[in-house]
Structure 1
Amino acid sequence: MTSVSPSPTHFNLTNAPGASPPFRTPPEGSLETASKLLQENHERFHIFFNEDGFHNHIAHHLATLHALGASTSQLQSAFSNNTSYQWRLKPATQDLSNPDTFAKTLGSNDDYASYLRFFEAYLSTHSVPNTLSTYLFTHTPQANDLLVRLVSGLLHPLLHLGFALRTAQPALTAEALAMAAVHDNWMGKLLLPAEERAASTNAASTPAFLALVDEMRTDPTIASAPHWSDGNKIRDGLLGRAAEPTIAGLARWRVAPTEEAVAKATAQVLDGTAWLTLGAQREGKAPRMDFFLIHGVNAAGVWAPVLLGRGLGREIKVKDRARLCEWIGRVAILNYLARGAPEPRLEAVEGWGTGDGWDSVLERACELPDDGHAAKVVRALREGEDICKGVEGGKMEGKWLKGAALLVDSVEGHEDRWVRGAGFKEAWEGVPAKL
């Protein structure tokens, strides 16, 4: 396996120039095991596992465990525990080489295999950076549409692409772009007008990330827009009842296309999403993380080194990395506001222990019998400790390890691992009292 380079159809973590180094030395055989399991997932399973669009997280989980230094048995358990409910991947039925067919088929989850084969073929003759530039960053209506789809579905396609770049696996890039293609694009009604409005403002006047979040969450129109009864609190609440002030606020998050500005903004978004997620606790209740909020910090964590131009990130133009940092920040803000904008509780993190250090917390994350959500948060927090030192307006200095220990403690051994909508009292019904 070591002699075969990664390709759009073949995984190989043992020979992946540009990949991010793991936080712990991979045990013997783990790279080969992770590669084999990623290959099996690629060939056997769809990106969704039900009609509601719930995502197959196997690739995210395996890539995360690899970064945390998981053993072969931990990797195999993570895979085996999450295969029984996956949809099998059916043969491709569409020839998407015709641009009209490509466009007309967007948003159809039945056609994931067709998009996967299309992007595998495209990546066989084009580099990953060239492919991303063509399909995401050219500012054409088609590229803008796919970029919107990339950040839809609670950021899952974006997360997938982040793992692809961090592991230097073109096959994951093919999966990520195919995944984006079968998502919807209604978030463009918020994100595209915000980008257009931002282009006419001065990037130098952008407030710090958390300062902007605080301004928006205290806007009475925005604060009252999401309702507990909404089926989708971004679509029905923020877009449906407060589109204008929401777009105006999002437009104020600007990142200038310079390395210095991208580095500053990247650290602010990672620090901010971590703080908003960990601090979203309820007085008198045992600690729990919001299932929706964790996706913001997970995306910020996996993308941070790429946005900083490390690894394969150096092959993405700084203007495109700046734009991605804007979009990641804006979607994180939307996600937070939609969960009832819970005011962060500083004491929830400050009063927690450190779980016997990073090595212990990383190992516990590798042992968790879930689908990878918790391990991804731990990984993001470990990234944050390195990347966010001295960040302007930051809250997490000295709290990254405590936050990771709090996260693991909140899910380890609990069936009710997450709350959904932490700013609403109804989300906490059933969560036990704080001891």
Structure 2
Amino acid sequence: MATPTKICLTLNSTGIVKNKPPTEESAAKASELLQENHEKHHIFFSQEGFHNHIAHHLLTLYGLGAPASVIEKQYQHNASHQRPNYPIQERNVEDMSNPEHFQKYLGKEQYYQDFLTFWQGEMEKKGWENVLNEYLFAGGERADNLLTRMYAGFLHPLIHFGFGIEFQQPAIIAEALAQACVHEAWISPYLLETEAASTTTSTKTLTQLLDEIRADKKLSMAAHWEDGNKIRDGILVRAPDEMISYAKKWTVSPSQLEEKTSEMINAAIYYTAAAQKPPKQVKFDFYFMHCVNSSIFFPTFNAQSWLSPANKVRLLKFKAYIDLAMYASRRSPPLLLSEISTYVPKKLENGEVKWPELFERLFEFQDDGHAVKLGRAVRNGELVSEGGDGDKKEREGFRVRGLMWEKIGNMVVDSVEDTGKTWARSVGFEEAWVEYEDRPRQTRL
């Protein structure tokens, strides 16, 4: 049984995207290695804040039916460069129970293990759902501070949180809360001010807002190549009012939750896949990719009976605010839908390349898990956008549909297997593409 301190995967907790069913062997191996990571490794593998993605990677592989041997191989590849946890300081854990003292530990990576222990203790006493409703979703300054930190670090705490909820693992949820606690809170004012400014209902779709952001030269040019963080040091310094003025126009009511969730997922995949620069190699932007990889969890959030409709709406709106800021922060690149619709898969000579084969290739691709997560998230986008039937229904704000889904899946796998670096970074800047080769595009109607 899974607990706040024990990871235990079962064949009843296999995730939202189905491929091959996991086995008892893969469940046992993934549980063993996730437990080892949980006990031994820090959430950052460097003091500069680079994230430990092992939990994301192994849960994705497990959910898609990768064999135990692949799970073991990918774990060993990534465990080799992780940092050990700091020793637990019991006095810190006790002090965190004092609300007046809790704040002084926030944003400091050396307290990750102490925070993890604190959250585990709270969950054991109160139950993990009650802890989340008390500390994350209660509203007020303390809860809002922690909730908005979930969206920091290019959405990594939110992604970690999503995996914990999706696979029903309280220990992973505790890791996510601890991870959020050791991130900085610079994104909080943007999220909360946008929410406060969103006082009237708007019918704007995310794709309409992406177009408007690109047309606004002050905003779309606000980030500079030399900015250390192009949202924090670019958009929110040189065009904060403009950014909020667009983001606040995306509104959601509880009755719209399912449709707006699907819209967010479709839009994130659209701008991530369509932000190409022909004739350069097809590559995906590293930052946009995180918006897709985090999108997969929102249907699961919406299905939680313990979470109020208002908080489900809030989670979704904050995600969209981040997506819009992320697009603006990469200089709002042109979005070329034809790069998707006319894409010719590299292994087309073997017949149409379908999802099972794509996932098999991603099982073997050796990275820190971003690639297979992206493939799974794109497949989820197809399921929520098309209703699982693969038709070409047209819905307002949904620009990816029909045959484009498997084309994007092929683009993901082909691009990471291709030469050069796996990801492009900040694709709206010319500098992001200088190291990639020019390639002629093939057109296949």
User: How would you bin the TM-score normalised by the shorter chain?
Assistant: over 0.9
* 5+ residue gaps, structure 1: none
Q: Is the 8 A contact 2:278 2:438 kept in 1?
A: no
Aligned counterparts of 2:61 and 2:11: Cα–Cα separation in 1: 18
2:238 match: secondary structure: helix
How many Å apart are 1:28 and its aligned residue?
A: 4.7
Q: Is the 8 A contact 1:262 1:307 kept in 2?
A: no
How many Å apart are 1:275 and its aligned residue?
A: 0.6
Corresponding residue for residue 304 of structure 1? 298
How many Å apart are 1:17 and its aligned residue?
A: 6.1
Which one of the candidate residues 44, 57, 62 is aligned to 1:61? 57
How many Å apart are 1:363 and its aligned residue?
A: 0.9
1:261-288 deviation line (CA, Å, top 9, x unaligned): 1111111110000010011110210100
Corresponding residue for residue 223 of structure 1? 220
Q: Which amino acid aligns with 1:61?
A: H
Which one of the candidate residues 310, 318, 329 is aligned to 1:319? 310
Corresponding residue for residue 333 of structure 1? 324
Which one of the candidate residues 263, 278, 281 is aligned to 1:283? 278
Q: Is the 8 A contact 1:16 1:169 kept in 2?
A: no
1:348 to 2:339 alignment? yes
Corresponding residue for residue 189 of structure 1? 189
Corresponding residue for residue 427 of structure 1? 432
Aligned counterparts of 1:348 and 1:194: Cα–Cα separation in 2: 33
Aligned counterparts of 1:253 and 1:201: Cα–Cα separation in 2: 10
Aligned counterparts of 1:353 and 1:34: Cα–Cα separation in 2: 35
The normalised TM-score by structure 1 is: 0.94
How many Å apart are 1:16 and its aligned residue?
A: 5.5
Q: Is the 8 A contact 1:16 1:168 kept in 2?
A: no
Q: Which amino acid aligns with 1:99?
A: P
What is the RMSD of the two structures over their aligned residues, measured on CA atoms?
1.5
Aligned counterparts of 2:160 and 2:407: Cα–Cα separation in 1: 27
Q: Is the 8 A contact 1:16 1:167 kept in 2?
A: no
Q: Is the 8 A contact 1:290 1:418 kept in 2?
A: yes
Corresponding residue for residue 210 of structure 2? 213
Aligned counterparts of 2:205 and 2:129: Cα–Cα separation in 1: 30
1:352 match: secondary structure: coil
- Aligned sequence identity (%): 37
Corresponding residue for residue 395 of structure 1? 399
Corresponding residue for residue 160 of structure 1? 160
1:277-303 deviation line (CA, Å, top 9, x unaligned): 0111102101000001000011112x1
Q: Which amino acid aligns with 1:29?
A: E
Q: Is the 8 A contact 1:307 1:325 kept in 2?
A: no
Correspondence 1:110-125 to 2 at 5 A: 110-125=110-125
How many Å apart are 1:413 and its aligned residue?
A: 4.8
CA separation of 1:62/1:6 partners in 2, compared to 1, >3 Å: closer, same or farther?
Answer: same
1:350-375 deviation line (CA, Å, top 9, x unaligned): 12246621110111111110000011
Aligned counterparts of 1:22 and 1:92: Cα–Cα separation in 2: 38
Corresponding residue for residue 8 of structure 2? 12
Q: Which amino acid aligns with 1:286?
A: Q
How many Å apart are 1:15 and its aligned residue?
A: 6.4
1:234-285 deviation line (CA, Å, top 9, x unaligned): 0111111001111121111211123xx1111111110000010011110210
Aligned counterparts of 1:24 and 1:305: Cα–Cα separation in 2: 21
Aligned counterparts of 2:147 and 2:70: Cα–Cα separation in 1: 34
1:328-366 deviation line (CA, Å, top 9, x unaligned): 111111111111111111122112246621110111111
Aligned counterparts of 1:325 and 1:368: Cα–Cα separation in 2: 31
Which one of the candidate residues 233, 252, 267 is aligned to 2:230? 233
Corresponding residue for residue 390 of structure 2? none
Moved more, 129-138 or 46-55: 129-138
Q: Is the 8 A contact 2:17 2:64 kept in 1?
A: no
Give the count of matched residue pairs: 422
Aligned counterparts of 2:24 and 2:193: Cα–Cα separation in 1: 50
Which one of the candidate residues 412, 415, 432 is aligned to 1:410? 415
Q: Which amino acid aligns with 2:424?
A: V
1:82 match: secondary structure: helix
1:27-59 deviation line (CA, Å, top 9, x unaligned): 451111111111010000000011210000000
How many Å apart are 1:77 and its aligned residue?
A: 1.0
Aligned counterparts of 2:234 and 2:32: Cα–Cα separation in 1: 43
1:362-420 deviation line (CA, Å, top 9, x unaligned): 11111110000011110101111110124422111121111011111001153411110
Q: Which amino acid aligns with 1:201?
A: T
Correspondence 1:19-58 to 2 at 5 A: 20=16, 22-58=18-54
Corresponding residue for residue 147 of structure 2? 147
CA separation of 1:74/1:181 partners in 2, compared to 1, >3 Å: closer, same or farther?
Answer: same
